Amino acid sequence: MAVLDILDTLAPIREKVEARERLDFEDGLALMETDDLLALGELADLARRVRGGGDEVYFVQNLYLNQTNVCRVKCKFCAFAKTQKQEDSYTIGADELVEDAVAQYELANYTEIHCVNGENPHVDLEFYADVLRKLKAALPDVHLKFYTASEIHHMSKLEGCTHDEVLRVLKDAGLGSLPGGGAEIFAPRVRQLIAPGKEPAEEWFHIHDTAHKMGIPTHCTLLYGHVETYEERVDHMLRLRAQQDATGGFLAFIPLAFHPENTVFERRGFKFTTGADDLKMAAVSRLVLDNIPNIKAYWIMMGMPMAQLALHFGSNDVQGTVVREKIFQAAGATSGTEQKIPELVRFIKDAGRIPVQRDTLYNELHRW
C-alpha cells in the first residue's frame, strides 16, 4: 500500500514541487491523508531546499511574559485563562513587569520579549501602551513581540475605536511585531465549538492585514488536534498563503499541537497529538505554505526529540530559549520552560543542521 501511495498520490505532487508549481487544495488534502510519513518528510525537505533553504536552523533568545491571565472568553481549549475572582488570577502593572524584565535581561541578555495575555475586561488600552513605553525606555534594544490579534480586537472593543487606531497607539509606544495566536482554526464550525466567544476569522485577518500595511510584521499559527478535519486544516493554510501573497508580512508559521490537559477536552477523553501527526503538520505546512519562509518546530509543545525530527520534515526554526512560558505549561506541556543556548546549539547540530541565533526579524546574530 505504501508503494501505491507514493506512486498514485505523492508522485504528482513531487513533480509540482520540483517544478516549483503551487500546490492546491486537493494536493494539500492528499498530503494530510497519506500514511507514508517518511516519504512525506522527504518531500517537505525537498520543497525547503528547492525554494532556497539551506542547512541553517534558527532560534532566538527570548523571554516570555504575561501581564494578565484574566480573560472574558471561555475558550474550551484554554487552561490559562481565569476570571478576576479566581484566586490564581493576576494583572501585573507596568512598573512591576519592567522591573522583572530588566532583572531577567541582566541574567540572559535576550533580544526579544514575547507577550500574550487573556482578554481582560477590567483594563484599558493605556494599560497595554504604558507597558510597551516603559519597556522600550528600559530595554531599547529588545524587540517587543506583543499581543495577539484577539487581544488587539478586544482592545478596539474596549476603546470603541478601530484596529488601525489601536495598532498605531501600540506601535508608537514600542510594539515591534505581533505573535500569531488567536487564529486557532479559521473554519466557523470549529470556532463555534471550541471558542464560541472569540471573534470570527475575518477579524484576525483584518488585524494582520492592517499591521502588515503599517510595517508591523506578524506571525501566524494553526491549532490542530481537537475537532478540526483535514479539510479545515488545509483551508486554514491556504487562507494564510493568500494573505501572504497580498501583504508579505508573515515572518513564520507555527503549527501548534492542542494540549488537552486541564481543559474541558481532557474530561471528554481527548489525548495529546501523536508524534506522527506533529511531523505531518510540519511537512504539510512547508509544502503548502510556499511563500512563508520559516516553519517553526516549537520544542516546548513537541518536546526536544520530536522537534529535532521535525527539522527533517520541513521545519527550519526551533523558536528559542523560551524563558518562562506559561500557557502551554498550564495545558500539560512537560518539556520544561527554558532551554539554554548551548543546549539548543547541540540539539540542532545533532540533527545535522547549522545552528544560527537570530533576532525576531531573522537577522543573523551568531552562527556555529
State the CATH number of the domain containing residue 283: 3.20.20.70
pTM value is 0.89
Count the helix, strand and coil residues of the chain and give each as a percent rounded to the nearest 5.
45, 15, 40
Q: What is the mean pLDDT of the chain?
A: 88
Calpha distance 307→301 (Å, rounded): 9
Number of domain units in the chain: 1
Q: Are strands 56-60 and 317-320 parallel, antiparallel or unpaired?
A: parallel
Looking at the predicted structure, is the pLDDT value of residue 163 above 90?
yes
Domain annotation covers residue 43: no
Residue 165's pLDDT band, with cuts at 50, 70 and 90, is very high
> Is residue 148 domain-resident?
yes
Q: pLDDT digit string (tens) for 291-344?
A: 999 999 988 877 888 899 999 999 999 988 866 544 444 433 444 456 788 888
Whether 275 is covered by a domain: the verdict is yes
Burial class (CB within 10 angstroms; exposed 0-12, middle 13-18, buried 19+) of 364: exposed
Fill in the amino acid letter for 71: C
| Cα–Cα distance list, 93 to 97, 127, 176 (Å) | 6, 8, 20
Residue 205: all three cell numbers together: 485577518
Q: How confident is the model at residue 41 (pLDDT cuts 50, 70, 90)?
A: very high
CA distances from 140 to 113, 175, 258, 320, 336 (A): 12, 11, 35, 20, 29
> Looking at the domain assignment, is residue 360 inside a domain?
yes
Q: Within a domain: residue 286? A: yes
Q: What pLDDT does 319 receive? A: 86
* Bridge partners of residue 323, in order along the sequence: 63
Q: Is residue 100 part of a domain?
A: yes
Taking residues 183-204, report their average pLDDT.
89
DSSP character at residue 263: S
Would you list the DSSP string of 314-365? T--EEEE--BT--HHHHTT--S-S---HHHHHHHHHHTT-EEEEE-TT--EE
In a domain, residue 29? The reply is: no
User: Range of 352's domain?
Assistant: 55-367
3-class DSSP assignment, residue 151:
helix
Residues 6+ apart with CB under 8 A from 69: 80, 81, 82, 88, 89, 90, 117, 118, 326
What residues have CB less than 8 Å from 129, skipping those under 6 apart?
169, 170, 172, 173
Min mean pLDDT across 61-65, 190-194, 228-232 is at 190-194
55-71 tens-digit pLDDT: 999 999 999 899 988 87
The answer to whether residue 168 is domain-embedded is yes
What the block records as the C-alpha cell of 254 is 507555527
- Going 258 to 261 to 267 to 270, the CA torsion angle's sign is positive
